Structure formats: structure tokens, C-alpha cells
Structure 1
Amino acid sequence: MATPIEKQQPKPAAEEVPDRKLYVTAADAQAFAEGVLRGNGTPADHARTVAECLVAADLRGVDTHGVNRLPSYMARVRAGVLDAAAAPTLTQATPAAAQVDGRNTFGAVAGLAAVRAAVDMARVYGIGMVSVTHSNHFGMSAWLVQKALDEGMMSLVFTNSSPALPAWGARNKLLGVSPIACGAPGADDESPFILDMAPSVAARGKVYKAKRRGEKIPLDWALDAEGRPTDDPAAALEGVMLPMGGPKGSALSIMMDVFSGVFSGSAFAGHVTNPYDPSKPADAGHFLVAIKPDLFMSLADFRERMKYLYDRVVKESEPAAGVERIFFPGEIEQRTERERRSSGIPYVEAEVRALNEEANRVGASPIRVMEGSGESEEAGH
């Protein structure tokens, strides 16, 4: 049984603990997000899609792309720079290639339309490619990868994003912290291969999360506006994120811009609008490919080969000193999802308070927290 947080007895200011964990079931997080979205003029089907994308991120432990994104999304809707009601349109370029015009709606809505189109083409032609133009922040890339996996497909999912990284050797923001993601069915439906990573040392969303929670960040994540390493997330957001692997991370970010921005006709070369900036449309671009895994062999053979790869990586690799276990890409997030579906999604009190402020704006129901939330870790979480 869950209890609306607004019905809890208010604590004296001295007892407030902004970083205390409160737990929410996936179903309640979904219902809350849908309520806030619909209260801001989002059609029911769009609200369901966006909420599902955000909750999926929270379940997988990608808290930087979860329900806490709602306030920034809603600020853009209220400012009129994101069209919550727009329906994406599809234009077929060839039998196996198409473009989705997001028409400035939610990135998750445009991305879902794209992955569905790519899968439909791949069923017939073995491969389907979709470019997405005039879109917005589309949340966790792995959510779209999973949508392709649900249809038995391999996939590539690219996007560009607002300036955060310098070109290698420069100090000014130009390139996006744009994730590269891909997936393939595994030996069974419970063990797919899912890669979703940013080309920076850390995702920029982790810096926003640290700022929101009043936490420090590691000194190797970012530079401040003067080009100095910083552990202050606010200073990091005024400076630049650092690319992973030096020039390699920078080059990967440029690749994302080529395939997602240049190719789609969307903004590129530093002109995608930050999702926390409600001054103008984002004009982000995406690029998705769906591929049948049984193009060159039977599906059974493909899955057997994936099992062999998994076993070689996870079971037969010798752990280095201090390492207890080797993980396959996506496996840690899958474990986190199973755990959070059982124990709930953790949010801190400050985050719940900010989310409920969004609900209060539109008369939506507050987020519901699980009984026992806020107690010590030994009390059940």
C-alpha cells in the first residue's frame, strides 16, 4: 500500500533531510508522470509513451534520464518551445529507409515512431533505417534499443545533443554528450546485449543530478569556465564536460552529429538547444537502424553464438585484482531493474518535493511513496 506524500505529517525544518531516500513503485511513478504530462496538455498516448521512457530509465538505474526530467520538459512545454500534442509524420525515402519529422514533439514520441518504422521495414527487407528531424531530448537510448529487442531485432540508436564537450584540444563547448547505443538478442530474452554510453567521461545528466542533490562530482568529469578541473557541478555546467579517451571521445561525438544532425537536416555543430533551456526549440536529430538477427543464419544459431560470446566474456574471463565479477554490457542495469521492480525506485526528498510542485501547478495527484520510505537502510531498503 502506498501513501500520497502530501498526506504525511510535515517535519520541522530542522528534521528535513533533502537526500533521504523515498521509494516509489514503477506503477505509481508511471501514473504520476502521466498525470503531470496530461495536466500540461499532453495527449494520453503521448503521455503514456513519455512516462514509460522516463520510468524505464529510473528502473535501470539511469536516474539522470528518469522522472526527474519532468520539470525541464514541462518548462519547455509551458514556454511554447516544445509541442506536446504534435503527431510525428513519416516519409518513405526507399523501401528500407524513411524519415520521421518529430514536429517538435517529445523526443520519446518521435523516437518510438522511428523504431516502429525501422522494425516494420526490417521485417520485410532485413534492415530498416530511419532518420529523425525536428525532435527533442529523447531520454534513455536503451529504451528504444529495448523496443527493437522486444520485436526480436538488433538495433543502432544515435542522437545528437546540445553543446557540452569541446573538440579535442579546444576549451569551448561545441559537441554534444551524445550517446551511442545498440542492442542484440541474447541466448534468451532475459540476457540481451545492450550498450548505451556517452562519449564523455560521465553523462552530463549526472552533473545535473549532483547539482540537484547538492553533491560534489569527481574532478576528472569536467572543467569550469576557466578550464580548471572542478568538483562543483554548477561550475562544471558553466564549463565543459571531458571526453572519454581524449580525442576518441571527441571523435565519437562528431560522429553522432554527422549521422543524427547533418544527415537528418536538424540542428548540428553546436546549435541543438539544451533541454534545460526553455528559450527556443531544440531541433535535435536522431538516427535508428533495425536489423534482423537471422539474415545470415538461423535465429537459433545466432542465439547460440551470442551465448558463447556471453560465456567467454562473463564466465571464462579471469577477473583482475580486486574485481569480483565480469559483466556483459547492459547486465548491471538489468539487475538494477529487477531489484527496483521489487523494492521501488529511490528518489531523494528534494526531488519528490520538486516533482510534487509540478503536480500542484496543474492539479495532478502527487507522487505516492511506499510505506517505510525515509527510514534507515536497515528498515528494508
Structure 2
Amino acid sequence: MPKVNETTLIDLVCHVFERTGMRSDMARDAAGVLVTTEMMGIRTHGLTRVEPYATRLRDGGVNPAALPIITAPAPALRQVDGQNGLGAAVALRATQAAMQAAREVGLGAAFCRGSSHLGALAPQLLLAAEAEFAAFFCTNTSPMIAPPGGQRPVIGNTPLGIALPDQSGWHVILDIAMSVVARSRVRQAAARGDAIPESWATDAAGNPTTDAAAAMQGMMQAIGGTKGANLALCLDLLVGGLSGAAMLSEIPNANLDTQAVANVGHLFLVIDAARLMPPAALSERLGDAREMLSRGAAENAAAPPRMPGTRALEKLAQARSEGVEIETKLYARLQDLAGA
């Protein structure tokens, strides 16, 4: 597989989006987010998302001319109307708006409506942590989980993320969905014809299945069963309900209908951590936490406990040093989409 440097990849993805008619500034923002996602090793939400997003931009499900409208109803609050723009770019603008509020008053929260699928939360969490903010981020999604006692998907997997900044650069970054795994992993398994663990998803009748193709017609299973489903439900109400975005089954499946306007909601809450303790002191506490984790390792553990995000940051550093490894077919397809 070829290795491509970060700048070249960002330019390439930017050209793909620009060819759909997308604003150049928003296209570059989205490209940067997706390339960072790829470099962090989150390939299910990185460069493989470029073509589906470009399709939605061309088909009308996403507005290529969108420029988010940001207002401040209170010193710590920002309301963001994404104008049906591409989620990765809307999310970046909203994160920056929340950080601006936090610089002014210590804490900032941006509630977004009128957005679309944003990909992974990890790149925005990294942005916040590198600026020395702690963060709590969340987004809703199209339905894929049944409510407790239900037989139809009504709830999204409502990913959430948490970040804590570390002066050493080894920030804590957690990015998880409320389903056992992201639906994209099931989609990839179905495309390859691979089996999946039966704990991941159900078929259309609600029965656990190892058939990935059948799972794509069914539902994802929530982490922790009823607890996970109710957590996903309440996060959706928090994100979609307070922002004025679509919520629960109001959100269409853009993979099935590329013309559907999703009106996805996001929440980006950041804390100016330095107002609570000096950055060096926080880094020392995180170091203490790492030591506690290491003391809790099992004897002869092949993979000792690590802080969330460590592997992603290692991959990011390697990609920036050596270039981004990309599958030959995917790279050729991106070049084709970009008219290169």
C-alpha cells in the first residue's frame, strides 16, 4: 500500500468535496478532519467516508453551500445552525465556537442542529485537548437500536467522547458509541462476507446473528443491554432535544437515502482546565493515574492497561512521521473523484 503525506491527502480530499460544489473553506475543514481520523487509525470513519459524503453532497442530502450560523444566547452557550452542511466541517466550527466561549468564561457549550453525520469524535476531541481544554462531546445518529421492550430501531448509537489534556501530548481521548461496535464494522464485514460475533447485532426479527448481511437488515445491540439503550436514548434527548435538531426516529438513514436531509444534532462542551488547576499539575495527576493502571495489570499481561486514546495518538505520530498508509484501490478512487 502506498504511503501519502498528510498535506497531499488533505488537498486530495478537499478537491473531491470542491468538485461537488462545496465551499472551499468548509471542504478543507472536512478534509482535515477526515485525514486526521484516518491517521489516528479510525479507518471506518476516515477516508472510506469521502465518497459516501460526496454522493450526499451531489444528491442534495447535504448542502454544499452551507456555512454554519453561530449565535451566543448566553456567555457560555453557542447555538450552531449547520445549514445542512457536511457534519465534519460543521463539527469543527462548533468545537471552535465552544472553545472561544470557554476562553472567555471558563466553560463553553455549543449545541448544533442542521448538521449531518460527522464521522468520529476523536479529531475534535484532539483539537480541544491540544488547546488545553477538557471536553465532553456527543452526537445523535439515525436509529439502529431498539428501546427496552421494543422490536424496532428507534434510538441511534449516540457516540460520546471525553478528552483530558496532558502537557506531554499523551492526552486522554475516549470516543465510543452506545452500540457494542460501530455499525460501520458490521457493514465492512458484510462487504467482505465475514461472520460477526452474535453479541454485535440482531437480524430483522430481533434475533442475535453472526451473519453480517442479515445484521445490516436488523439492529445493533446496545452496550450493557437496557442500561446502554436508555443511556443512548437520554443522550439523544440531550443532544437533539435541546439543540432543536431531529431526534430518535426522525433522523433518516442517509446510507439508504442520499437525498434525505438528516438534521443531526451535536453537543460540544469544553472546560478551560487551566482555571481548575495548572496544566503541569493536571499532567502530573494523569501520570499518577497511568501508574495506578499499570499496577492493576494482570501478571504476564500481553497488553497492559493504557489510557484511552494512547493507541490512536501513537498511530497519529507514526503517520505524521512516515506518511499515511492507504489502500491502493481507495487511493486511486479518491484521485478519480478529485479529477487528479
Q: Secondary structure at the match of 1:288?
A: strand
Q: Does 1:291 align with 2:271?
A: yes
- Give the TM-score normalised by structure 2: 0.93
Residue pairs, 1:1-381, within 5 angstroms: 21=1, 23-186=3-166, 188-276=167-255, 277-313=257-293, 315-319=294-298, 322-349=301-328, 351-352=330-331, 354-356=333-335, 358-359=337-338, 364-365=339-340
Cα 1:355/1:220, change in 2 over 3 Å = farther
Whole-angstrom CA distance in 1 between matches of 2:336 and 2:206: 36
**Percent of matched pairs sharing the same residue:** 31
Query: CA deviation digits over 1:91-110, x for unaligned, max 9?
Result: 11111112000010111222
User: 8 Å contact 1:68–1:355 — kept in the other structure?
Assistant: no
Deviation, 1:333, is 1.2
By how many angstroms is 1:55 displaced? 1.0
Q: CA deviation at 1:248?
A: 2.0
CA distance, structure 1, for counterparts of residue 333 and residue 146 of structure 2: 32
Deviation at 1:326, TM superposition (A): 1.3
Q: 1:301 to 1:203 in 2, by over 3 A?
A: same
Output the CA distance in 1 between the equivalents of 2:236 and 2:177. 13
Deviation, 1:312, is: 1.4
**In 1: Cα distance, 2:322 partner to 2:203 partner:** 38
What is the rounded CA distance, in whole Å, between the counterparts of 1:210 and 1:28 in structure 2? 29
Distance (Å, rounded) in 2 between the aligned partners of 1:355 and 1:236: 29
Shift of 1:310: 2.1
Q: Give 1:179 shift.
A: 0.7
Cα distance between partner residues in 1 of 2:150 and 2:267? 27
SS in 2 for 1:294: helix
Give the Cα separation in 1 of the matches to 2:215 and 2:142: 15
Deviation of 1:345 after TM superposition, in Å, equals 3.6
CA separation of 1:235/1:105 partners in 2, compared to 1, >3 Å: closer, same or farther? same
Contact 2:12/2:334 (<8 A) preserved: no
Alpha carbons of structure 1 residues 256 and 107: separation in structure 2 relative to 1, 3 Å: same
Deviations 1:168-219 (A, max 9, x none): 2322111111211010112x24211111001111011212232344433222
Over 3 Å counting, the alpha-carbon distance change for 1:77 and 1:323 in structure 2 is same
Checking the alignment, whether the CA contact within 8 Å between 2:20 and 2:57 is kept in structure 1 is yes
Match of 1:378 in 2: none
TM-score by length of 1: 0.83
Inter-CA distance 213–351: structure 2 relative to 1 (3 Å threshold): farther
State the alpha-carbon separation in 1 of the partners of residues 10 and 318 from structure 2. Answer: 17
**Deviation at 1:84?**
1.5
Tell me the SS of whatever aligns to 1:130.
strand
Which whole-Å deviations, capped at 9, do the CAs of 1:8-57 have from their partners, x for residues lacking one? xxxxxxxxxxxxx5544433322221111111112221111111111111
Residue type of the partner of 1:210?
Answer: A
Structure 2: distance between partners of 1:117 and 1:39: 28
Cα deviation for residue 319 of structure 1 reads 2.2
Partner Cα distance (1:256, 1:357) in 2: 39
Task: Give 1:80's aligned amino acid.
Answer: G
Larger Rg belongs to: 1
| Secondary structure of 1:114 counterpart | helix
What CA distance in whole angstroms lies between the structure 2 residues aligned with 1:171 and 1:61?
34
Q: Number of residues paired by the alignment?
A: 339
Note if contact 1:105-1:136 (Cα within 8 Å) is conserved in structure 2.
Answer: yes
Aligned counterparts of 2:223 and 2:4: Cα–Cα separation in 1: 34
Q: What is the CA–CA distance in structure 2 between the aligned matches of 1:125 and 1:357, rounded to whole Å? A: 47
Instruction: Give structure 1 stretches of 5+ with no counterpart.
Output: 1-20, 366-381
Taking structure 1 as reference, are residues 228 and 358 closer, same or farther at Cα in structure 2, changes over 3 Å only? farther
Of stretches 28-37 and 157-166 in structure 1, the one that deviates more from structure 2 is: 28-37
Look up the equivalent residue of 1:72 and give its one-letter code.
P
Check the 8 A contact 2:61/2:254 in 1, yes or no: no
Paired residue type of 1:65 = H
Where does structure 2 lack aligned partners over 5 or more consecutive residues? none
Which amino acid in 1 is paired with 2:21?
G
CA spacing shift, 1:239–1:310, aligned 2, 3 Å: same
Q: Give the conservation status (yes or no) of the 8 Å contact 1:73–1:275.
A: no
